[in-house]
A = this chain, B = another copy of it.
Amino acid sequence: MLINELTKSASLECLSRLRFGRLACARDGQPYITPFYFARNGQHIYSFSTIGQKIEWMRTNPLVCVEADEHETPQKWSSVIVFGSYEELPKETEYEHLRELAHSVLEQRSIWWEPAYARTILSGAERQLDPIYFRIRIETITGRRATL
């Protein structure tokens, strides 16, 4: 197997094809990864989530990392890594067009609302299903492609 670097434009194209990846945030030096659905639009990655540890940590420290990959075979894959910053899109007039954009780019996948919007039983109590829209500004992106 040979691994080559992707160019920035090839990395962005790869990210555009993908809808599922992992998002990491950090607090007091402790990183935290969660799987998430997303959609790239321009210099941003759009997503949403119910309130929880991830949102609380990103509000405290907006520095995040996104990793996503696609696999044709175990030896033929591409992987991209984004360093970026979190920006919440609150229910306020000035964010309305960005919330609509987020909804528009995210609804292009059929089950875009899962698992962020799934009914979740945690410690016997259902969590609140109030979606938090957010976007991640892509500061840097790198990618690698493996071939035989």
* A12 within 8 Å of B (CB atoms): no
Tell me, in angstroms, the Cα distance from A64 to B115 when the chains sit together. 24
Q: Are B119 and A81 in contact (CB under 8 A)?
A: no
B120/A30 in contact, CB under 8 A = no
Which B residues touch A63, using CB under 8 A? Answer: 29-31
Assess whether A75 is interfacial by the CB under 8 Å rule. yes
| Chain A interface residues (CB < 8 Å from chain B) | 1-5, 22, 24-26, 29-35, 61, 63-67, 69, 74-75, 79, 81, 83, 111, 114-115, 118-123, 144, 146
Q: Contacts A32-B65, A33-B33, A34-B67 known; list 9 others, CB within 8 Å.
A: A3-B121, A24-B31, A26-B31, A29-B61, A31-B32, A32-B83, A34-B81, A35-B79, A75-B114
